[in-house]
Each structure stands twice: as structure tokens, then as C-alpha cells.
Amino acid sequence: MAGFSVIHRGIREDSDVARSNTVLMPPPSGDHSGLTDGAAFTAALAKLGGAGGTVQFQRGAYFDNTQRSPGNYVVLKGDGGLSAGAVPGTLLAYTGTAASYLNWQTSTGAQVHDMMLFANSAGFTGRLIDLSNFSSLSRVERCTLFLTDTTAAVGVYLDNAEDFTLMGGNVVGGKYGLQGIATAGHIASGISILGPRIGGQGAAGAGVIGIGQGWLVNGIFERQNGQRGIAAGPSPSQGSAIVSCWLGDGTGANPVIEVFADGLDIRGNFIGGTATSKGVQFVGTSDGVDLAANRFDTHALAVDKNAQTVTNIGIGPNSYTNVTTHHNFTAGGTAYIEA
């Protein structure tokens, strides 16, 4: 097909079909309606033939008006992510308003690398990347996911998803940057969030919400404006960790971290706020929670039991600066509290 080059690389012995062939997109058309670039994207995915592979986007701004279900082991790859930290090397803007843009439900091996994904319509209230319904082995690396400041949209949606990694990059706008468990009784298992800047908008927003089973939230920098940095979902998290994160923009309206958990390690984080804020607040019956080596900076209350049933908890040692009350737990029984 004119305008495309197809590179056949051969399938490796480990059956890495996502790299077995690459289709190069033509340069961006300049048509902001999404019709022209959208047609080119459709043709590129068709070139992969349903067997997986990579669609390589060139430098510049592409506009797409069509909801996508790219399929198993498909990689969408841009040209270098961000240029000088501000201008995307490759921008892929969705101009439509479907419930999801990249609708990768029930898929395996979905990947997005080195680009900016942008929901270009203020009417978009859906999910920019939807990996729900038992998608697995998915990755988003070195990308900016940008949503307008709607109070409904979600950057990455992982209800009933497994084995997902978000590495680096920036998640901006929407209600939630990344949502795990959304329905009580569902799963979101084996999720790693490694070093992105992330945030949400609106009074009920959160950077990350609904931690599930076996999550590692490591090294994130939350970019909130008083919203929750990490919020609980409708089911307890299990066997997860929040470590070495900067969570510094709490206000009086929302805690920085909500806890509803069976087995949670909160360790080595900077948890900052205001003179009226709370750092960590329990919002459900919890067991086996350890809070240690954290720096609580400027709060009315660092750790709030919030009248919840909490057993087998450890608090400390932590560091406190400009914190009125460290916690409202009573030592003894299954509570192990620093002196």
C-alpha cells in the first residue's frame, strides 16, 4: 500500500510476535478532524494481519476519530516521547467521544511506548486506555497521557486486568490517572506503577485508585491540587506496597493516601499537606498494614484510624514536621506504635 513500509524481522524463538513486523505510519497529514490520519491508522493495523506487531508513528501530531481495538501483541510506538520535556515527539490525539479510545479489553500483550496520547475532545468522558475484562501482559512506557479536566475520564482503566506495568511518563487530567478495581469483588492483579508523574482532577479525583492484588506503587510523583494521591477502591487491596513516592499536595478536604487493605506496606514516602490535612486515612476494615520510614510534613493528623477496625498495624518509626497529631490509634493489642 502506498505510503507504508513493512519490515519483516522474523519471529524469535520466544514467540515475541509484537516485534515480528513493523508498519511505518506515513507522516501526519495535518488534518485535525481525524479522518485522514485515522484512515492511515486503520490501514496500518490491517497490515499487521491480526498476528501482532508494531505500528511505528513518526514525529509530529496525528489525529484519530475512531475508537480502536488494536488486538493482541500490538505495540504502538512513537518517535521519542517528549522533546525537551515539553513538546511531544509523537502526539496521537483522539477526537471522538466513545467510552474508550484504545479499547484493549480481553487482550494480551498490548503496549504503548514513547508518545503522547491526548483525548482532544472536551466531551470525552471515557477511558483513554481500557485494559479491563482480563487483559494481561500489557505495558505503557515513557508516555504522556493527557485528558482535559473533565471529572469523569480515566487515563488507564484496569478493572479485572492482570500483569500491567506503567513505567515513567506523565498522566495528566481526568478524574483518575489510573484506576484498578472499580467493582467490588473484581480483581486488578500484578500491577506495577514505576516512577510516573500522575494526577487526577475534581474534588473526588485521585492519581491512583483501587489498588488490587500484588501491586507495587514505586517512585511516583503525584501532581495533584488537593485531590487524593492514592485512593482506595470498593474492595481491599491485598499484598501490595506503596514505597518511595512523593505525595506532597494534601489539603483539608482529602487525605493523601486512603487505606482499605489486607497486607499493605507504606514505606519511605514523602507525605505532605497543609495545617488542616490528613496524611493517611483508613476507610475500610484493614489488617496487616505497616507504615514506616515515611516523612509526614504539615498535617493536622498524620495517620487517621477514622473509626475503622484496624488490626495488626505498625506505625513507625516515621519522621514528622509541622504535624499537630501523629496518629489517633491506641497502643497495645495488635497495634505496634512508635514511642
pLDDT digits (tens, 9 = 90+) for 176-202: 999 999 999 999 999 999 999 998 887
pLDDT band at 86 (very low <50, low <70, confident <90, very high): low
Number of residues that this document lists for the chain: 339
Residue 9 pLDDT: 36
Residue 40 pLDDT: 98
Q: Residue 25 domain-assigned?
A: no
Does residue 10 or residue 236 have the better pLDDT? 236
pLDDT of residue 270 exceeding 60, the answer is yes
Per-residue model confidence as pLDDT tens digits over 246-260: 998 888 888 999 999
Does residue 203 or residue 237 have the better pLDDT? 237
Residue 249 pLDDT: 83
Number of domains in the chain: 1
CATH code at 117? 2.160.20.10
Q: Residue 58 domain-assigned?
A: no
pLDDT of residue 11 exceeding 60, the answer is no
Q: Which helix (H) or strand (E) element contains residue 80?
A: none
Q: Under a CB-based contact definition with an 8 Å cutoff, are residues 228 and 251 in contact?
A: no
Q: Which domain holds residue 160?
A: 81-337
Give the three cell numbers for residue 159: 478493572
Residue 279 pLDDT: 97
pLDDT band at 7 (very low <50, low <70, confident <90, very high): very low
Residue 5 pLDDT: 44
Mean pLDDT of 155-166: 98
Q: Residue 76 domain-assigned?
A: no
Cα-to-chain-centroid distance, residue 151: 16
Q: Residue 328 domain-assigned?
A: yes
| Averaged pLDDT of the chain | 91
Mean pLDDT of 156-184: 96
Residue 100 neighbours by CB distance under 10 Å: 21
Residue 83 pLDDT: 52
Q: Residue 56 domain-assigned?
A: no
Q: Residue 181 domain-assigned?
A: yes
Please state, in angstroms and as integers, the Cα–Cα distance from residue 328 to each residue in 112, 251, 264, 331, 337, following that order. 44, 19, 19, 10, 11
Q: Residue 186 domain-assigned?
A: yes
pLDDT of residue 13 exceeding 80, the answer is no
pLDDT of residue 3 exceeding 80, the answer is no
Q: Residue 18 domain-assigned?
A: no
pLDDT of residue 1 exceeding 50, the answer is no
pTM for the predicted model, two decimal places? 0.92
Please calculate the CA angle 250-254-258 and round it to the nearest 5 degrees.
Answer: 95
Mean pLDDT of 278-307: 97
Question: What values do phi and psi take at 140, rounded to 5?
Answer: -130, 120
d(CA 233, CA 173): 19
Cα-to-chain-centroid distance, residue 156: 5
Per-residue model confidence as pLDDT tens digits over 303-334: 999 999 999 999 999 999 999 999 999 888 88
Per-residue model confidence as pLDDT tens digits over 127-144: 999 999 999 999 999 999
Mean pLDDT of 278-285: 98
